[in-house]
């Protein structure tokens, strides 16, 4: 399959085909079960890591592949072809939202402790941001942090931090 685009070089097309084959063989047959159970088994992250799909754009230092942007586009499009918004959301939030904060703001030790295991499928990254008056509307969050010298102090609102460890 070749995408008629100047942005998708032959390597990206080959990557797309490998990704599509992997998803068809290993993921699509199990999606209905996962949807009905409302749960993605823990081993799926290791399966994706085995295919090097969890850190396409991240540095090799942390287990990533440093691939060009359009490999990520192809990957996300192929996830979309599965027809499961929940699964696509979980995999894309893990790889492109939750781990992005670690990559952009974490120091080297934090990246080794959290980003690398997320890329290797040993940790599942997620995002949970809320305040009592905002719910899931992130644009309504009014909490702010100010530097204190030792770190930061939260002011103007009460922030709720939600964390839950799932699996191993």
> Does residue 166 have a pLDDT over 80?
no
Q: Rounded to an integer, what distance in angstroms lies between the CA atom of residue 6 and that of residue 44? A: 33
**Residue 65 CB contacts under 8 Å (≥ 6 apart), including other chains:** 52, 55, 56, 57, 58, 71
Mean pLDDT of the chain: 87
So what's the pLDDT on residue 136? Answer: 73
User: How does strand 129-130 pair with strand 144-147?
Assistant: unpaired
Q: Nearest to residue 120, comparing CAs of 79, 166, 74, 64? A: 64
Whole-number pLDDT of residue 164:
47
Q: Residue 77, exposed/middle/buried by CB under 10 A (0-12, 13-18, 19+)?
A: middle
The answer to whether residue 18 scores a pLDDT higher than 90 is yes
Give the tens place of pLDDT for each residue, 67-89. 999 999 999 999 999 999 899 99
- pTM value is 0.80
Domains, the chain: 10-126 (1.10.540.10), 128-168 (no CATH)
Q: What is the dihedral of CA 110, 112, 113, 115, to 10 degrees?
A: 80
Say if CB 35 and CB 86 are below 8 A apart: yes
List, for residues 119-144, the tens digit of each pLDDT value: 999 999 988 777 777 777 778 877 77
pLDDT of 107 reads 94
């Amino acid at each position: 399959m070749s995408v008629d685009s100047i942005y998708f070089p032959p390597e990206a097309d080959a990557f797309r085909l490998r990704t599509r084959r992997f998803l068809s063989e290993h993921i699509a047959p199990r999606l209905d079960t996962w949807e009905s159970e409302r749960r993605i088994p823990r081993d799926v992250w290791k399966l994706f890591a085995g295919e090097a799909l969890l850190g396409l754009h991240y540095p090799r230092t942390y287990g990533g592949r440093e691939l060009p942007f359009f490999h990520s586009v192809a990957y996300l499009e192929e996830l979309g072809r599965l027809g499961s918004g929940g699964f696509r959301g979980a995999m894309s939030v893990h790889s492109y939202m939750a781990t992005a904060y670690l990559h952009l703001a974490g120091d080297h030790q934090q990246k080794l402790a959290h980003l690398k295991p997320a890329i290797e499928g040993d940790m599942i990254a997620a995002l949970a941001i809320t305040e009592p008056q905002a719910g899931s509307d992130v644009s309504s969050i009014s909490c702010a942090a100010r530097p204190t010298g030792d770190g930061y102090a939260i002011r103007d609102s009460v922030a709720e931090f939600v964390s839950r460890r799932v699996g191993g």
